[in-house]
Structure 1
Amino acid sequence: MADVLAAPQQSKADTGLRTLTLISAAHWVSHFHMLVLPMLFPFLKTTLGVGYIELGFALTIFAVVSALTQAPTGYLVDHFGARKILLLGLCLGGLSLVLIGLHLSYSALIACAVLLGLANSVYHPADYAILSAHMDEARMGRAFSVHTFAGYLGGAVAPAIVAALVTSVGGVGALIVSGAIGPMVALALLVFGVPEASAKHQRGAGGPASKQNIVTPALMVLTIFFMLLGLSNAGISNFGVVALMNGYGAAFSTANVALTAYLGASAVGVLAGGFLADHTHRHGQVAAICFGVNAGIVLLIAMLALPPAVLTAAMTAAGFLGGVIAPSRDMLVRNAAPAGAAGRAFGIVSTGFNFSGILSPLLFGWIMDQSLPRWVFGLSAAFMVLTVVLAPFTERKREQRLASA
């Protein structure tokens, strides 16, 4: 088994495109698997005889487990190899869905949520460790952008794929087939030879990463930064339609078109942001400028009842700017990570996203329950302003670290 999992020695030129394709495929799976259970809620509610509170509790379990295991998984990635951990994550996530498909029960659903949360903690530390070690430095921003775009794509196509599976093979079949995708992609990574990445691939001047302090002020600020990014996006993505309908009198079709434009523009913005990230070292300033403008746009949406065409244009611009900063966001983490500790660094900061996933449904749900739909956009704008405040601090910390190296 050790020989099978050992990556062959290949040059960056030989492995670059193949590595990016394989790692992006794995990221596609992670976002696809996150939405399989929510897309099957109607089937699970009827079959298991439970309510939406019980089903929502399973998603909370998923988010909590993923949040608690991100940083420990980053440690495993750096010390045992990102390739091995990624393969295990793909298989674990897939088999968890197969498990509930073969044994439909509420206890199996909770077990599936735990295993999916554990599997989800693998992707960011492992993916970014491999990309950081094996991609061309001059194209690192674009590599990160393609990787992020693949994740967005996995989430975007999940509803259609799951719906098609339910129609063709039923709810149980949809669970089993969706789960089987994980081990299939893991097999593809083995066959096509995704390279390994661990602490030994990046030795800094100060010695092995295991002797360095990974919990740095820059990474702590970036963790908060990631949480604020998640909160600013979650409010609009999850509650944008109902907020527009209840607070502004927008028609259901208008609200859905506006949200679709926002999400689609985010994906395009990610790809554009990759080129921008490769042509600047001021990633914190990129994030600050984009989100400063974005905060103004979202605040405008919060304050005014815009005509449908103007609303869609504003949502498109907001989504695009939100996507543009994603590669620069990832470059900030890579620059702040001690040598050989990319897995742990991305594991730590990714907990910010997990915590936003736990907090945002409660926070924005409470806002809607208080009949304050405009504050869905108003509070999102406030979170964007806070990211603007934090971004220069992370950039400044990075410069101080480089100066002292």
Structure 2
Amino acid sequence: MKRNDRAIVGLASVAHALVHTYELSVPILVGIWLVEFSTTPAELGLVVTAGMALFGLGALPGGVLTDRYGSRRLIAFCLAGMGSSFLVLSIAPSVVAIAVALVLWGVAASVYHPAGLSLISTGVSERGHGFALHGMAGNVGIAAGPLLTTLLLVVVDWRTAVGVLAIPAFAAAVFSVVLDVDETASVDEDAEGSATAGSPDSFGAFLESSKALLTGSFLLVFGVAICSGLFYRGVLTFLPELLSDLRTFQPVEFAGTTQEPANYIYAGLLGVGIAGQYLGGRLTDLMQPERGIAYAFGALAVLALLYLPIASVGPAPLLVVSAALGFTLFVVQPMYQATVAEYTPAPARGLSYGYTYLAVFGVGAFGAGLAGAILTYASPTALFVVLAGVAGVASVVGVVLTRSQ
């Protein structure tokens, strides 16, 4: 990689890891807040949902701001905002104050994906390699968030732990401000000038740019992103509970404490995703990303149908099929990220990724509700059949995109 590529990927990877570290630290804190503030799961669930919903819904305006003000400025805002929100959280005296802090976090974090992915797509010459490393960093954050928070809580109270977690965000924000990079190093100026959609500088321009994006092939990519989000939330939200119901992985006593083996399987599944992210990104340099989408989502559909039958056989088959699921689940992410860059003009790249992550985290958030409803009124088998159908739709769209080339 060139120096500019390394600098951009380094900044984006650090920010990406921190976004998901903070996102996944919150569930660890929920149990403490339930006791300290004498609240109910329903009330606290609404509080957490408010912040997480804005994480997805804010991606679209974040994309517009990225195109207008540049990726690096938005990343600096994201990092400083997340650090500030965790400082507010560390002194929160009530559930209302926790809600305010999490809403601030959601607003700040929401701009990251359109800004970070736009920066890689326009500034990095080895785009697929950049997406791979960026995705791996996100998975490091996904795995590190719960672990780091848990380890801090062993030695300090939750308020101190949250305050300590805020420090890396401020350090990274300073780094993003002083870093000297060319944000458009990989943009073909001729292609940029012929773009039919550009950076929206007014509401009318925003509507025109959105119309140009959503009436072309990008609309199919948008559909793939929705399917990815639905599958991601649908399979991961209740998977620890499903695993804990298996006879093989009942709670055990160790060193005077109750251990949940299912939680370790879950963490391992997320950790395997690091390798999946890397392979998915590298494959986008070796094949059409549309073809990769068809293959990867097809594999996810098959794994969804086979997961419970294989998992019920015994520990070894469960470990194998869980590793395969975690690996494939994250292979797809750099593939649709690269596909967005193929179907959108550089001046509207931030807007494009804004729509993409509105789909993944905004619309995709309904995957959790869908999974909960199916598990309540049907069965785990029905859930995985539905998820297989979602992945199958995305695979078919990949085939359509491949044939349209």
TM value normalised by structure 2: 0.87
Match of 2:137 among 138, 145, 150: 150
Distance 1:184 1:392 in 2: 44
Instruction: Please report how far the alpha carbon of residue 256 of structure 1 lies from its aligned counterpart in structure 2 after TM superposition.
Output: 4.4
Distance 1:104 1:194 in 2: 41
Question: Aligned residue for 1:265?
Answer: 272
Instruction: Please report how far the alpha carbon of residue 301 of structure 1 lies from its aligned counterpart in structure 2 after TM superposition.
Output: 2.1
Question: Aligned residue for 2:80?
Answer: 91
Match of 1:355 among 347, 362, 366: 362
Distance 2:221 2:197 in 1: 23
Across the aligned residues of Structure 1 and Structure 2, the Cα RMSD in angstroms comes to 2.5
Instruction: Please report how far the alpha carbon of residue 121 of structure 1 lies from its aligned counterpart in structure 2 after TM superposition.
Output: 1.4
Distance 2:155 2:11 in 1: 28
Would you say the 8 A contact 1:63–1:357 is kept in 2? no
Question: Aligned residue for 1:55?
Answer: 44
TM value normalised by structure 1: 0.87
Instruction: Please report how far the alpha carbon of residue 368 of structure 1 lies from its aligned counterpart in structure 2 after TM superposition.
Output: 2.4
Would you say the 8 A contact 1:243–1:374 is kept in 2? no
Q: SS of the residue aligned with 1:375?
A: helix
Deviations 1:115-148 (A, max 9, x none): 1111121111110111112211xx2111101101
Question: Aligned residue for 1:173?
Answer: 160
Instruction: Please report how far the alpha carbon of residue 268 of structure 1 lies from its aligned counterpart in structure 2 after TM superposition.
Output: 0.8
Would you say the 8 A contact 2:213–2:219 is kept in 1? no
For the structure 1 residues 242 and 102, does the alpha-carbon distance in structure 2 shift closer, same or farther, using more than 3 Å as the test?
Answer: closer
* The 10-residue stretch of structure 1 (71-80 or 232-241) with the greater mean CA deviation from structure 2: 232-241
Instruction: Please report how far the alpha carbon of residue 260 of structure 1 lies from its aligned counterpart in structure 2 after TM superposition.
Output: 4.0
Instruction: Please report how far the alpha carbon of residue 275 of structure 1 lies from its aligned counterpart in structure 2 after TM superposition.
Output: 1.8
Instruction: Please report how far the alpha carbon of residue 371 of structure 1 lies from its aligned counterpart in structure 2 after TM superposition.
Output: 5.5
Question: Aligned residue for 2:291?
Answer: 285
Deviations 1:380-403 (A, max 9, x none): 222111111222334456x3xxxx
Match of 2:391 among 384, 394, 401: 384
Would you say the 8 A contact 1:302–1:375 is kept in 2? no
Amino acid in the other structure paired with 1:266: G
Instruction: Please report how far the alpha carbon of residue 224 of structure 1 lies from its aligned counterpart in structure 2 after TM superposition.
Output: 2.4
Distance 2:264 2:302 in 1: 21
Distance 1:294 1:100 in 2: 38
Question: Aligned residue for 2:223?
Answer: 224
Would you say the 8 A contact 1:95–1:180 is kept in 2? no
For the structure 1 residues 37 and 195, does the alpha-carbon distance in structure 2 shift closer, same or farther, using more than 3 Å as the test?
Answer: farther
For the structure 1 residues 385 and 207, does the alpha-carbon distance in structure 2 shift closer, same or farther, using more than 3 Å as the test?
Answer: closer
Distance 1:206 1:62 in 2: 35
Distance 1:215 1:291 in 2: 22
Question: Aligned residue for 2:61?
Answer: 72
Would you say the 8 A contact 1:287–1:329 is kept in 2? yes
Question: Aligned residue for 1:233?
Answer: 232
Matches within 5 A, 1:362-377: 362-370=369-377, 372-377=379-384
* The 10-residue stretch of structure 1 (385-394 or 121-130) with the greater mean CA deviation from structure 2: 385-394
Distance 1:353 1:208 in 2: 22
Match of 2:249 among 248, 251, 268: 251
Matched, 1:299 2:299: no
State the percentage of identical aligned residues. 25
Matched, 1:118 2:107: yes
Number of equivalenced pairs: 383
Gaps of 5+ in 2: 200-204, 251-259
Gaps of 5+ in 1: 1-11, 400-405
Would you say the 8 A contact 2:303–2:325 is kept in 1? yes
